[in-house]
Amino acid sequence: MRCSRCWSVTWPTCKCSTVWCVTATARRWSGCFAVPTRLARSSCACWSNSAPARAVRIVCFSGVAILSNVVFELKPGGAVRGRFRVPGDKSVSHRAVMLGALAEGVTEVQGFLEGEDALATLATFRALGVRIDGPEQGRLRIHGVGLHGLRAPAEPLYLGNSGTTMRLLSGLLAGQSFDCTLTGDHSLSVRPMRRVTEPLARMGARIDTTDAGTAPLRIHGGTPLKGIDYALPVASAQVKSALLLAGLYAEGETRVTEPAPTRDHTERMLAGMGYAVRRDGASVSLRGGGKLRAASIDVPADISSAAFFLVAASIAEGSDLTLEHVGMNPTRTGVVDILKLMGADIDVLNPREVGGEPVADLRVRHAPLRGVQIPEELVPLAIDEFPVLFVAAACAQGETLLTGAEELRVKESDRIAVMAEGLRTLGADAEPTPDGMRIRGGGLGGGTVHSHSDHRIAMSFAVASLRAQAPIRIEDCANVNTSFPGFVALAREAGLNIEQGPA
């Protein structure tokens, strides 16, 4: 069996033989944890001699608990310096696998994010009959099967914690000839799915949810789809993308109108693979019945991951950091715009376009930040970065007010409530509101905060340690690997005093 992180055939004796490696490998094989408790404490050495995990049906819940209980311990202070590249963009990595699988020919991908969410997408398309070579140092070869070449999976598709995978797949699979069930972990299983299943139903899709409108999603194939003209009630790139993917299989035109701009990676990649996509103001449309051509895809560094270091360098005295090859898609750069409004010293260097996506190097140096009222038009452009922006606000002079961000309450956690709770634990003046937060800047102390299994919460509080007056302990951090494998090592290299271990 290969290691799901470094892809070594020597797993579990490879350098990645850690608790994360075990959980990621288990999740690759449809989330089946064949892990005796006594061996979970030693990185589950039994895996090397066992049958492939996907053929095993023994689930050890105590083993799962042990594997998921990871803590970060951080000493206060420090500065961040250096020059490096953060992992590949999660959104682009998901779409590269999905569209590469539906294309005709072999799609070559480099810079693929080997985090748990993107690996869940990769494992899903293997289960749907697509041959995918890799990942090996971020490289994939996807042997596309065309729009109508997917095969029915042998069992329900387990997507881990990946909401992007579930929502986009709901549209893509609605146009197939076979039935399919999508499941996920506890966090994903309580996230709202009606926002995507209801407009898909208007196209003719038949998708069953729980009474609460959550996963598992049971998708009934073989139903003809028809294009619709749909106005999104809330800006959502995931819903927009799900409808466009369903539109590939629909009769007529599918048109989606946004109340505010959202990330447009799906549209860019479709166009890059030869599919006709039309943008008309706030609307994007396509017609069914076309074909996708295989392409070479260079995944840029994820600006959402870069955001942690942009804030870290901004708040820590003596910092001077350059982040290389960062994706600068204009629908994603709200974090840079907001930090600049707060007074951050960020230079955009060597701007260029790679594979249809704008990229640049970002140099950021320490600068005193000031509180601001965040313009609501920037909210959709920074929706994933607000946890760490809340940390920046807590370190700024004056008051910062965020409104129009109710979407934060239905992410991997209620990010408004969880961040407010954690900031107050650290001594910050943070007042949650129904659609945002009011933060009055000042000093940060120390203490124990809980990430609620939310990767962005955990990394945000790690950044807060740079301005803390006492140590910070962050609980339940295993999910950091959904988006940022290697975060602890890179943060330590940059200058954070961080250690990771079991609870």
Residues with a catalytic annotation lie at 384
List residues bridging with 145 in a β-sheet. Answer: 104
Give CA–CA dist 317/367, Å, rounded: 8
The Cβ of residue 75 has, within 10 Å, a number of other Cβ atoms equal to: 15
List % helix, strand, coil for the chain (3-state, nearest 5).
35, 25, 40
> What stretches of 272-409 adopt beta strand conformation (E)?
278-280, 283-287, 296-298, 320-327, 345-354, 357-365, 399-402
Alpha-carbon distance values, 270 to 23, 104, 154, 299 (Å):
33, 13, 29, 15
The length of the chain, given as a count of residues: 503
CA of residue 91 relative to chain centroid, distance = 6
**Quick one: DSSP state of residue 196?**
H
CB 123 within 8 A of CB 154: no
Which pair of structure tokens corresponds to residue 404? 């129009």
Pairing mode, if any, of strands 81-84 and 320-327?
A: parallel
Q: Decide: residue 180, CB within 10 A, 0-12 exposed, 13-18 middle, 19+ buried.
A: buried
Concatenated DSSP letters for 170-184? HHHHHTSSS-EEEE-
Phi then psi dihedrals of residue 494, to 5 deg? -75, -25
List residues bridging with 165 in a β-sheet. Answer: none
Give CA–CA dist 343/366, Å, rounded: 10
Which pair of structure tokens corresponds to residue 291? 């074909």
Alpha-carbon distance values, 490 to 484, 486, 497 (Å):
10, 6, 11
Which pair of structure tokens corresponds to residue 166? 């579930």
3-state SS assignment for residue 234: coil
User: 162-165: long-range contacts at Cβ-Cβ below 8 A with a sequence spacing of 24 or more?
Assistant: 162/94, 162/116, 162/117, 162/118, 162/120, 162/121, 162/188, 162/482, 163/188, 163/191, 163/238, 163/411, 163/412, 164/90, 164/91, 164/94, 164/117, 164/121, 164/238, 165/94, 165/117, 165/120, 165/121, 165/124
Q: Give the up-direction half-sphere exposure of residue 390: CA atoms within 13 A in the CB hemisphere.
A: 36
Q: Give the up-direction half-sphere exposure of residue 170: CA atoms within 13 A in the CB hemisphere.
A: 35
